[in-house]
């Protein structure tokens, strides 16, 4: 692939991640408004997130089966078209059932997009692939920081969230046209020779302990990001009486630091090793969250500071999958993504139930516990990859 084509191609992936942040980044700020407009509870919001994940999980499996047949470009196009349809449904939705259906469809579209992005990035013939994937996913943080502040402003000025969703739909239509005229590397010609661990058939993939450790590491690890994104504004409003506009400032700051971490953190982890670095990140982040919750309203700024560290968790762990499973990368990514989403969104459902039963402040203590579980799984992966002497940099 020529340099100009590569730049245009990578830019399209950056745009896709930016677009995905529009809904993902705004939903935490909109939780109190959705509860008011549809007259629902935190538990119902948690159920909606779970239903969205069912769409993501189901179609992640479908995407894993399709990508080797239709290629990454068509997969991205299908994903974008599906996301456009989801925003149309949510914009029109006359009640919460239709809104939740739109969320389900959005989860399905995101499954195609995320797998497409994660499968395409390692195919670029460049050094620092972990850094590149962190930068691409960093656009999610950049978009989140922007849309969270914008959503807070809209809500405080009584501007309908439906108008925002209409804008989200138009943005994805533009990206869909962009992708249509863009070329992508496929398939890779640069697969490394498999080791005893890497040589996995589809049958043995599901019995490989590292696959399940990756699921645990990502499933609980993503709560460090998604738990803040989805519940932090609600935590501040219900727990400390901070309105959505002021709360969105804290959440936006979290994702500003998150973006900085993604743009720069990948280069650091390339030097010190993927798993060793993520282990340290999860241990430190857990301590930060715990201290921030204990400090109450004075600890809100401390919690936002963890965004700098949490940024590198997902992209860095995902970039190891093609290195560990070069012969069936798509299937491994799909299976890991499904398991990750199941843990992650059962966690959101649990957090919603805990909010209603024991209060938002007490329930937030589960976040540092989840990060410790993630760190434990990463530590075991670190130990196994060192013992089996896998590709340098993973451990």
The string of DSSP codes covering 78-126 is HHHHHHHHHHHHHHH-SSHHHHHHHHHHHHHHHHHHHHHHHHHGGGS--
List pLDDT tens digits, range 66-119.
888 898 999 999 999 999 999 999 999 989 899 999 999 999 999 999 999 988
In a domain, 394, yes or no: no
DSSP state letter for 128 = -
CB-CB contact of 255 with 148 (8 Å) = yes
Please report, for residues 41, 168, 226, the alpha-carbon distance to residue 232 in angstroms, rounded to integers and kept in the order given.
Answer: 16, 23, 9
Structurally, the chain folds into a number of domains equal to 1
Q: Whole-number mean pLDDT of the chain? A: 84
User: Integer distance in angstroms from the first to the last C-alpha of the chain?
Assistant: 30
In a domain, 395, yes or no: no
Give 171's pLDDT tier (boundaries 50, 70, 90).
very high
Confidence (pLDDT) at 201? 54
Please report, for residues 146, 182, 391, the alpha-carbon distance to residue 193 in angstroms, rounded to integers and kept in the order given.
Answer: 43, 30, 10
Q: Which residue, chain included where needed, has tokens 């921030």?
A: 292
Whether the predicted pLDDT of 394 surpasses 70: no
Whether the predicted pLDDT of 187 surpasses 80: no
CA distance 317 to 270: 12
Please report, for residues 83, 94, 294, the alpha-carbon distance to residue 348 in angstroms, rounded to integers and kept in the order given.
Answer: 22, 25, 21
Q: Which backbone phi and psi does 273 adopt, to 5 degrees?
A: 105, 140
Q: Where are the beta strands (DSSP E) in 210-318?
A: none
What percentage of the chain has pLDDT greater than the value 90?
31
In a domain, 364, yes or no: yes
In a domain, 303, yes or no: yes
Confidence (pLDDT) at 82? 96
In a domain, 119, yes or no: yes
CA distance 316 to 128: 11
Q: Which backbone phi and psi does 359 adopt, to 5 degrees?
A: 100, 150
> Quick one: tokens of 75?
């997969």
CA distance 367 to 293: 10
Whether the predicted pLDDT of 193 surpasses 50: no
Confidence (pLDDT) at 196? 47
Q: Quick one: average pLDDT of 130-145?
A: 78
Q: Which backbone phi and psi does 284 adopt, to 5 degrees?
A: -70, -40
Q: Which of 196, 194, 143 is nearest to 27 (CA)?
A: 143
Is-cis flag, bond preceding 299, omega within 30?
no
CA distance 364 to 355: 8
Pick the more confident residue, 226 or 363.
363
pTM, to two decimals: 0.74
Q: Which of 352, 343, 360 is nearest to 48 (CA)?
A: 352
CATH number at residue 263: 1.20.1250.20
Whether the predicted pLDDT of 32 surpasses 50: yes
List pLDDT tens digits, range 315-335.
888 888 888 887 788 888 888
Whether the predicted pLDDT of 377 surpasses 90: yes
DSSP state letter for 194 = P
List pLDDT tens digits, range 215-252.
999 999 988 788 887 788 888 988 888 887 788 788 87
In a domain, 204, yes or no: yes
CA distance 76 to 97: 27
In a domain, 157, yes or no: yes
Q: Quick one: average pLDDT of 136-151?
A: 79
Range of the domain at 312: 3-185+193-387
Give 192's pLDDT tier (boundaries 50, 70, 90).
very low
> Taken in order 391, 190, 279, 363, is the CA torsion positive or negative?
negative
């Amino acid at each position: 692939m020529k340099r100009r084509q590569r730049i245009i191609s990578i830019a399209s992936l950056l745009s896709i991640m930016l677009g995905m942040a529009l809904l993902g980044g705004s939903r935490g700020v909109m939780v109190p408004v959705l509860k008011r407009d549809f007259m629902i509870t935190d538990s119902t919001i948690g159920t909606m997130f779970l239903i969205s994940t069912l769409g993501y999980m189901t179609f992640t499996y479908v995407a894993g089966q399709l990508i080797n047949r239709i290629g990454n470009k068509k997969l991205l196009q299908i994903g974008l078209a599906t996301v456009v349809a989801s925003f149309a449904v949510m914009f029109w939705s006359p009640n919460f059932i239709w809104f939740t259906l739109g969320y389900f469809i959005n989860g399905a579209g995101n499954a195609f997009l995320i797998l497409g992005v994660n499968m395409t990035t390692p195919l670029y013939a460049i050094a620092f692939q972990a850094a590149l994937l962190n930068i691409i996913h960093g656009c999610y943080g950049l978009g989140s920081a922007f849309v969270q502040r914008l959503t807070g402003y809209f809500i405080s000025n009584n501007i309908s969230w439906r108008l925002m969703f209409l804008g989200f739909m138009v943005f994805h239509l533009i990206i869909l046209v962009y992708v249509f005229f863009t070329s992508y590397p496929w398939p890779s010609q640069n697969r490394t020779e498999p080791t005893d661990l890497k040589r996995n058939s589809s049958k043995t993939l599901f019995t490989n302990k590292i696959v399940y450790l990756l699921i645990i590491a990502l499933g609980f690890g993503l709560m460090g990001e998604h738990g803040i994104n989805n519940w932090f504004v609600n935590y501040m409003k219900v727990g400390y009486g901070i309105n959505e506009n002021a709360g969105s400032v804290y959440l936006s700051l979290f994702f500003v630091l998150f973006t900085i971490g993604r743009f720069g953190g990948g280069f650091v982890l390339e030097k010190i090793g993927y798993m060793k670095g993520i282990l340290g990140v999860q241990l430190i982040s857990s301590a930060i969250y715990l201290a921030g919750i204990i400090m109450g309203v004075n600890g809100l700024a401390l919690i936002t500071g963890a965004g700098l560290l949490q940024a590198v968790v997902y992209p860095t762990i995902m970039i190891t999958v093609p290195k560990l499973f070069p012969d069936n990368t798509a299937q491994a990514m799909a299976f890991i993504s499904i398991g990750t989403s199941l843990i992650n969104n059962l966690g959101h459902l649990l957090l919603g139930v805990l909010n209603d039963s024991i209060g938002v402040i007490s329930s937030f203590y589960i976040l540092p516990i989840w990060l410790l579980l993630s760190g434990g799984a990463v530590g075991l992966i670190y130990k196994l990859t060192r013992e089996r002497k896998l590709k340098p940099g993973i451990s």
